[in-house]
Chains A and B, each alone.
Chain A
Amino acid sequence: MVLYDYELSADCYAVRLLAALLRLDLALVPVAFYPAREHEGAAFRRINPKGSLPALVDGDMTLTETGAILAHLAARGDANGHWLPQERLAPVLEWLGFAARLGASAGLARLHDGFMLPADIGQARREAEACFRYLDAHLWFAEAAGQDWLCPGARPTIADIACFPHVMLAEEGGIERIHYPAIRRWLDRVRSLPGFIGMPGIFVPAPVPARAGG
């Protein structure tokens, strides 16, 4: 499998993160997203006519929407079906849709603020804050029911991986996380997953001995 990748892209990172958690080999082909805008050039459009990243090529299949790429990795690399549980497809898909909203709001705000991409920044931040309020309430009530992840169940799913990068990087788009304490705790739980990898802007927690007494 080949991932057309830009290291600082939140969605590309979601794919790299899931691959790491699944211990799946992924060949990375770097695409110069910024400032060269190679993803919009003629050569890359032969791979993805939409001119967007990420793009995953597996044999004669090319996938270009992040949620679908994550689902494909889970189908290929997760024999136990934990990351994309068949009995909970609809909730997972619901959150993949939500992750796309996060990309279009918080993700866009980040590109505007740091990479100076033109955007309606007020609108992007307003939509992001609305998404975050919804997510914080959801996570608070999940915690109250003894749940740690976006979808009910003992383990994370690709829903968590799809949403994590845009939320974790949101401050780069001028969205404060201080107002979302349940989100902040969930972010820590994702970062504590075995095999977790970071990206520039997302630190990997230093290893610490487990708390005595469990």
Chain B
Amino acid sequence: MSVAAGIDPDTWNRWHVVARLDEMPADGIRRTRLLGHDITVALAPDGTVEVTRGPGEILPVTFAYGFAWASLGTPSAPLFAIPEYHEADRRNLNGGTFRVKTSAPRAIENFLDMAHFPFVHTGVLGAEPHTEVKDYDVAIAADGTEVTATRCLFYQPLAAASSTGGADVAYRYRVPHPYCAILYKDSPAHPGRMDVITIFIQPAEEEEVIASLFLSLLDDETPDEDIRRFQQHIFAEDKPILENQLPRRLPLAPRAETPIRADKSSIAYRRWLRQQGTSFGVIR
């Protein structure tokens, strides 16, 4: 489903992820969809990237975290920052890019949600009877640029590729873009510092997205492919849930669905989308 006209200005003028630079096809051309429009991402041999919509219509492009980002409009602000990315001892890698038949906001909410861990990621991120979601804090930034969830805690039997046992894991979430979310988790190898796991969602259509899992980790030992396998395992467990969620677009009306206390982050996220005026991938 595509929206030819009537996309809200906030969405239209944002940067959206469109390609993973080290996973481009051999010929350097990726034809894809953004907000219901056909676009082409062209990576030249000299490393330059051009993104076009239609012949000769060149779109603004920027680069961050190993991805190309483009806009159908005119971004007035830079893309959100992830300061950890630039730390010298970080490993930055892409866990995988998958297409999912759902809206971007549904995928973001799933990323923010902890209550599903024992049922969807059984034995890895959660297990019965440890199903309780203890209270946590959420906030929408005063300048409206992001939503955060802090003081989150959840018991996990096996929390990351490098874990060997169960623990209460503390983390926080940041949503600095309607279609991007960041999870910060205690680093097992570096106490006091955090691993960063992100989801960048390319809103191809209102009800179809291309999701990339980007990681910025302090782990020195686990091979890249082991980390990717873990991230793909988790994502592939969420996929059938997302693809069986109706309606596919996220309803923003407060009474449309039934949130509970554990859904604080999703309540805040939906309120934030209403404030931004987001129209793509939602039901207002």
Contacts and interface: CB of A to CB of B under 8 A. Distances in A.
Interface of A: 7-8, 30, 32, 34-36, 113-116, 171-172, 174, 199-201, 204, 206
B232 interface: yes
A7 B229 CA distance: 8
29 contacts: A7-B229, A7-B232, A7-B236, A8-B232, A8-B233, A8-B236, A30-B229, A32-B225, A34-B232, A35-B94, A35-B96, A36-B225, A113-B99, A114-B99, A114-B100, A115-B99, A116-B97, A116-B210, A171-B243, A172-B239, A172-B243, A200-B233, A200-B235, A200-B239, A201-B236, A201-B237, A201-B239, A201-B240, A206-B128
B233 A174 contact: no
A114 B232 CA distance: 12
Interface string B232-249: 111111011001100000
Nearest to B243: A171
Contacts of A172: 239-240, 243
Interface of B: 23, 94, 96-101, 122, 128, 210, 225, 228-229, 232-237, 239-240, 243-244
A205 to B, nearest CB: 11
A174 B225 contact: no
Contacts of B236: 7-8, 199-201
A68 to B, nearest CB: 26
A32 B100 contact: no
Contact of A174 (B23, B100, B101): B101
Contact of A34 (B96, B101, B244): B96
Contact of B233 (A7, A114, A171, A204): A7
Contact of A35 (B97, B99, B240): B97
A199 B100 CA distance: 18
B239 A116 contact: no
Nearest to B225: A32
Contacts of B100: 114
Contacts, number: 51
A30 B161 CA distance: 14
A171 B239 CA distance: 11
Contacts of B94: 35
B99 A116 contact: yes
Closest 5 CB pairs of A and B: A200-B236, A200-B237, A32-B225, A35-B23, A200-B233
Contacts of A7: 229, 232-233, 236
A22 to B, nearest CB: 22
A178 to B, nearest CB: 11
Contacts of B232: 7-8, 34, 200
B208 to A, nearest CB: 9
Given A32-B228, A200-B239, 4 more contacts: A35-B94, A35-B97, A116-B97, A200-B234
A30 B225 contact: yes
A30 B98 CA distance: 19
Contacts of A171: 240, 243-244
A30 B94 CA distance: 18
A206 B235 CA distance: 21
A114 B239 contact: yes
Contacts of B128: 206
Nearest to B237: A200
A58 B101 CA distance: 40
A4 B98 CA distance: 23
Nearest to B120: A203
A174 to B, nearest CB: 7
A8 B228 CA distance: 12
A200 B239 CA distance: 9
Contacts of A116: 97, 99, 210
B10 to A, nearest CB: 28
A8 B100 CA distance: 15
A172 B100 CA distance: 8
